[in-house]
Structure 1
Amino acid sequence: MSTTETYGRVGETERGAFRAGPVDGESAARLAAHGLEYQRIAVDSDEYVGWLQSVARGFQDGERSAEQVAAARERSGYRRLTGVYDPQSPVDAPVATIASWLGELTVPGEAMIPSCAISAVTVAPTHRRKGIARAMLEGELRAAHASGIPMAMLTVSESPLYGRYGFAPAAAGTSWTIETKRAAWIGPQPAGRIDFIGRDRVRELMPALHERVRHRTAGEIDVPGGHWDGFAGTNPAAEKTGEKRAVQYADADGEVRGAAVYAVRENHDDFTKATVSVHYLLAETDDAYAALWRFLLELDLVAEVHAGELSTSEPLLWMIADQRAAKVTVRDHQYVRILDVVAALETRRYGGPGTLVLDVSDPLGIAAGRYLLEADERGAARVRLLGEGEAADAATVTLGIAELSATYLGGVSLATLAAAGRVSVTGGADAASDALAMATRVLGWHTAPRLSIWY
């Protein structure tokens, strides 16, 4: 697939302009004061090899082979790549890296918002405690804001690092371990059929299926093409691709409505107790969801099924006879950071009508201010920045940009954050408790957000 493929509703012109934009001047000056150079890296340049090797080292991976470098280069044209260089280093490679791209985030109400996706954040252990990570992340956020991008998003290896920049966990992910014999399928048994397919075929199916379903769930994003190669095992430089098996579900009319990629690991001590790892499962309909999960849980000679990046409200739990057969671990997954409060809040929909003043603080000063939000009966809202000293007869929610970002996808309620001491609500014309209940209802959403990939 071409590295200039079109993603969602954000055009390639906008994506290209963001990729080509300069590094942030403030961060460049801060790094220069430490004798470091801050620069963008072109994917087709000689510097790309060193950048990729630094990323691999930062995530404790092995050195990339020439074949792996070529495959990564082919699939990385959509990203903006930045490195921090130490001129005194004996190796021609950056001591820190970051990548980003302009993607699309689904928000409550099946709307999409342009978002700066951030990835590949590494700092060499030889250059810690020099403010490099702060300079890179703040620089990328300022660059995105200067480009008119209203949101930023990322998935993280180390969760405590990003709150200082205004990010907050907004969509949790769950990991499942299911004992197949104990689980016992009691869910639907749809018409239609499951068939094995090749890896090239599932690579062809998944982007189209995902494009049809991603708008339904807040937190999902448009997936870059290289990720589908990873799921399907069609990246020629990837390891162990031969272990991956793929199936599709076609409904009673013969339309393909779902697909799954999985791998089986034998248990050499007991061949009846193999383990299945689900790499990706994508279902357009309830029937496809049920049929694919039933297939996986009823595979012969399998004792456990492992799956990750599932939602906190999976119907699967109610499709097995013994819910204790499933061990479900919940952890933070998708982080978001609002850069433009008005654009972000006017894009999503709300749980009910109401008027709020949002008094927002921001450690970077990008989105601070007092905002008036007026949501109507349809769940749509008008939002505007209040002038200095301007009064509004409405409940006031005082919170940081991280807390506002945490509520944005509907993954945590305002009442929970208030109980945790993270926000405060004053009543305006209402009692404080009534104001909190109203604000919680307005900012809430009825379905849990989800992101089904790492990036």
Structure 2
Amino acid sequence: MTADLPAGMRLVEVTEERYGEWLDSWLGAFASPPGDDPEVVDFYRRTHPPHRAIAITDDAGYVATNASLHRDLVLPGGRTVPLAACTGGSCHPTMRRKGLMKATLHRLHERAVEEGKPIAAGGVSEWPIYWRFGYGPATWYNSLNIDVRGVGWRDDAPDGDLPVRRVSGKEARDLAQSVYERQAVRTPGEVIPPSCYWDRLAMDPANPRLEQMLAIGGGGAPRACVAVGDRGFVSYRITSDWAPETTPRNMLQVIDFLAVDAEAAATLWRYLLSVDMVATIQMWYAPVDNPLAWWVTDARKLRAQRHDGVWLRPLDVPTLLEARGWAGDGALTLRVHDPEGHTDGTFRLEVDAGQGTCRRSTAEPDLEMHVAAVGAILLGGTAATDLTRGGRIVARDARCAQLWDTMATPERAPYISYFY
């Protein structure tokens, strides 16, 4: 049911020959066209291959872009499902409000269903846009700004005095991939990147422009990487702020922070807070349940700002509810409205011993919602009770929304650290 297009426009697959044009159209809409930077273009060609990209074109060239990548989404309980990772959405400013984004997303959703993927996901540039296409905010993260000289460190933090060592090149690349994959399986909401995503850590010299385009870092300072055995990895840059008449007040920006356990994470944080001449640490992405606030002596010197992370668009509700693990038992009947028709209907969810079964039903619903609300509450990171109070979910009884949250809330807060 791909949407109709204005006269003179057509939706096309992107060819190898026109990939540079597609990439410039997409990233240029966000003021970061790669142009003739071969390193950046080669990286995107491998992580965002041309055969996954689509565009809308008129006689003058591409006017809208989009893509869906093959990825896997980690669900509560540790299982993964095939994911259509949607990215690359853009529209030329002269073509706004003509239904072009709707047309590209409808095609990506159709393709996902054809490929047997039960869900699509996207990182959302602007909040008001994507709900109407069936996407709901499912994970959250904090950006951190830390006053290093005031925050302190508790003597009883779980730090086993583990050694921290420098790593670089292929060792850094391979270690980061290994640690990420081990931490991701315990973190609902994580999306598993392709192996080539980690090649950026082997680039010598590092490409700060690429990391800025990936929204994981920025600045031109050299990148440093350190590790804690095979259990933790962090990469960062230090920006100098030092005049002759002042005490050094450099800023350390964390790019990657990966740890498989609390002891490794605490060791890495203690290291970062001890780097000489650093007054401020900034981190763009941190889990909302990050224990750092309980490891420092003054958590008010750790300023966190909450943001929405990945938005999920269910395409097969029964498959998703049966694939994820559940924290409690119970039964609910859900009425789901999907304007695109992929997963519209009434479904009976029954959970026993943490395993769900879901079938179509004719019963009266306990909870009624747009498919975007299902995406928001699927992982347990957005509360059904909040959406009920906000009017996004209609509950037969308030206890029905409470039951969903009791069953759905996982041990770890859903989080994504890889923005594709």
Identify whether the pair has TM-score above 0.5, normalized to the shorter chain. Answer: yes
2:29 aligned residue: 58
Is 1:34 the counterpart of 2:4? The answer is no
Describe how 1:383-394 pairs up with structure 2 within 5 A. Answer: 383-386=358-361, 390-391=362-363
- Amino acid in the other structure paired with 2:317: V
Contact 1:233-1:241 within 8 A present in 2 as well: no
2:214 aligned residue: none
Match of 2:412 among 444, 447, 451: 447
Gaps of 5+ in 2: 210-218
**CA 1:59–1:433: 2 relative to 1, 3 Å:** closer
Q: What is the deviation of 1:258?
A: 0.9
Describe how 1:285-300 pairs up with structure 2 within 5 A. Answer: 285-300=261-276
1:157 aligned residue: 125
- Amino acid in the other structure paired with 2:415: R
1:128 aligned residue: 96
**CA 1:37–1:391: 2 relative to 1, 3 Å:** closer
1:22 aligned residue: none
- Amino acid in the other structure paired with 1:40: E
2:341 aligned residue: 365
Q: Greater relative contact order (Cα 8 A, min sep 6): structure 1 or 2?
A: 2
Q: What is the deviation of 1:72?
A: 3.3
Describe how 1:254-273 pairs up with structure 2 within 5 A. Answer: 256-269=230-243, 270=246, 272-273=248-249
Q: Alpha-carbon deviations, 1:33-84, whole Å to 9, x = none?
A: 4211211113xx2111211121221111145115243443344438601111
Describe how 1:13-92 pairs up with structure 2 within 5 A. Answer: 26-27=2-3, 30-31=4-5, 33-42=6-15, 45-67=16-38, 68-77=40-49, 80-87=52-59, 89=60
Is 1:381 the counterpart of 2:356? The answer is yes
2:212 aligned residue: none
User: How many residues align structurally?
Assistant: 406
2:394 aligned residue: 424
Describe how 1:37-436 pairs up with structure 2 within 5 A. Answer: 37-42=10-15, 45-67=16-38, 68-77=40-49, 80-87=52-59, 89=60, 93-186=61-154, 187-230=157-200, 233=203, 239=209, 243-250=222-229, 256-269=230-243, 270=246, 272-376=248-352, 378-386=353-361, 390-391=362-363, 396-426=366-396, 432-436=397-401
What TM-score do you get using the length of structure 2 for normalisation?
A: 0.91
What TM-score do you get using the length of structure 1 for normalisation?
A: 0.84
Secondary structure of residue in 2 paired with 1:94: strand
Question: What is the root-mean-square deviation in Å for CA atoms of aligned residues?
Answer: 2.0
**CA 1:72–1:382: 2 relative to 1, 3 Å:** closer
Once the two structures are aligned, what percentage of the paired residues are identical? 28
User: Does 238-247 or 345-354 show the bigger shift?
Assistant: 238-247
- Amino acid in the other structure paired with 1:65: D
Contact 2:328-2:354 within 8 A present in 1 as well: yes
Gaps of 5+ in 1: 1-24, 251-255, 427-431
Q: What is the deviation of 1:445?
A: 2.9
Query: How far, CA to CA, are the matches of 1:76 and 1:162 in structure 2?
Result: 21
1:11 aligned residue: none
Secondary structure of residue in 2 paired with 1:412: coil
Q: Alpha-carbon deviations, 1:222-279, whole Å to 9, x = none?
A: 01234323456558766467611000112xxxxx211100000000334521000000
Contact 2:333-2:363 within 8 A present in 1 as well: no
Secondary structure of residue in 1 paired with 2:410: coil
- Amino acid in the other structure paired with 1:190: G
Contact 1:410-1:446 within 8 A present in 2 as well: no
Query: How far, CA to CA, are the matches of 2:78 and 2:50 in structure 1?
Result: 25
Secondary structure of residue in 2 paired with 1:329: strand
Contact 2:349-2:357 within 8 A present in 1 as well: yes
Query: How far, CA to CA, are the matches of 1:124 and 1:54 in structure 2?
Result: 8
**CA 1:53–1:78: 2 relative to 1, 3 Å:** closer
